[in-house]
Amino acid sequence: MDQLKIVLHHLIVQEAQWKIKLLEHWPVLSKHIINAPVVLVKISDHSLLLGVTHSIWAQEVSMCIPTIKKVINDFLGSEAIQTIFIKVIMPPISLSPSKPTQLLQSKPEKHYALSTDEQQCLTKIDDTQLQKNIEQFLTRCKRHAKGG
């Protein structure tokens, strides 16, 4: 990993080195500046796009933009950042360790009983596999007809 970092530092133009420095130190800087759930979404030539997960955080962070800009520019040693934009983004979906399959579980299936006529017709079929498949097919048809 360290070798890759060295190679990347030599490949990237010197004017863009501040972007790498900012990316590497963003977690510490963001906690030091505002201690809010803010992610660095995009770095442009002289602007940043910061992402927050709620409009209330966007309001709070937008009031701190002058301070954020000053601290970042002081850290970088130049006036690299001129504009900061805030965007409300969707929070990442995470499964809690105690309930990892909660999202994957479906509603319990309702059982749709066959009518007496349907059951009598099924008893006339000698092939048990065919009888079972037709029964499943009829059940699916009933479920679909009921909207379930």
pLDDT digits (tens, 9 = 90+) for 76-109: 888 989 999 999 988 766 655 555 555 555 555 6
Q: Are residues 12 and 84 in the same domain?
A: yes
What does the DSSP assignment read for 11-57? HS-GGGHHHHHHHHHHHHHHHHHT-S-EEEEEE-SSEEEEEESSHHH
Average pLDDT, the chain: 80
Q: What is the pLDDT of residues 65-76, one digit of tens each?
A: 999 899 999 998
pLDDT band at 15 (very low <50, low <70, confident <90, very high): low
Residue 108 included in any domain: no
CATH number at residue 37: 3.30.70
Q: Are residues 82 and 130 in the same domain?
A: no
Residue 20 included in any domain: yes
Which residue range forms the structural domain that includes residue 44? Answer: 2-88
Residue 17 included in any domain: yes
Q: Is 64 helix (H, G, I), strand (E, B) or coil?
A: coil
Q: Are residues 7 and 80 in the same domain?
A: yes
Residue 100 included in any domain: no
Q: What is the pLDDT of residues 120-142, one digit of tens each?
A: 888 988 888 888 888 888 888 88
pTM above 0.75, yes or no: no
Percent of the chain scored above 70 by pLDDT?
A: 78
Residue 8 included in any domain: yes
Domains in the chain: how many in total? 2
